[in-house]
Amino acid sequence: MREIYTTILFLFLFSASWGQSDRWQVRQGNSSYGKGKYQDAELEYRRALEKNPKSIKAAYNLGNTMYKLNNPAEAEKIITQVADSTKENEIKSASFHNLGNFNLAQKKYKEAIEAYKNSLRVNPEDVETKSNLAYAQKMLKNQDKNKDQNKDQNKDQNKDQNKDQNKDQNKDQNKDQNKDQKQQPQISPQTAEQMLQAIQNKENETQDKVKKEKAKVLESRQKEKNW
């Protein structure tokens, strides 16, 4: 996999238009940042913003510092405000570039793509931003692919569960049927034959009785007709 450029564009530039009240804190923050003392840098940048809330560079560097302190969500919040408020193309392009990195760290690939595109709209020739954009697009594609695979796996799991449930139901039904069959009394062939013979004898008796009754009726009729 091609290595992604995660360079955080930092501003050490100073402007004569800065207020003297916050300039010292920003310089101290930059010194601490360069030495890797990010907590000290955060403190200085926040002091600078207390004195001059409109200090773009203090806010910009504070956002980058929060990222170094493993707080990309806070870094995203701060740098978004910088990108939306600054009129300087260099800062705007760098802000959107870093915003893309902060989103990338949170696996917010759609937002990262949009941030990199915004950076390239200001500075179309930035190679690192182009590389990061391609990487974010690839990660989004992989993320969508994994989601589709998970959906298919869930469908297959549901099908298997339904099959297992049907199998269990069929097993239970078969068990109940076998149980009912076992509970029914078993009749031996000899007993069955005796029962059939008894039924036949009863039927024969009934037929004999009917025949006798018919004979009596015929006799009476004959007597009546025997003048």
Give the count of domains, the chain.
1
CA gap 31, 26 in Å, rounded: 9
Is 113 inside a domain boundary? yes
CA gap 98, 131 in Å, rounded: 13
Is 81 inside a domain boundary? yes
Is 149 inside a domain boundary? no
In this predicted model, what pLDDT tens digit does every residue of 155-201 receive, in sequence order? Answer: 767 676 777 677 667 666 766 666 555 555 566 677 767 777 877 88
Is 87 inside a domain boundary? yes
CA gap 46, 67 in Å, rounded: 15
Which mean pLDDT values do the consecutive 10-residue runs of the chain (227 residues) have? 46 47 89 95 96 93 95 96 94 95 95 97 95 95 86 70 70 64 60 75 77 54 32
Is 183 inside a domain boundary? no
Is 222 inside a domain boundary? no
Read off the tokens for 156: 């297959």
Read off the tokens for 181: 């069959």
- CATH number for 120: 1.25.40.10
Read off the tokens for 15: 């402007």
Residue 84: domain span: 20-142
pLDDT for the residue 219 = 44
Is 107 inside a domain boundary? yes
Is 174 inside a domain boundary? no
The answer to whether the predicted template modeling score (pTM) of the entire model surpasses 0.85 is no
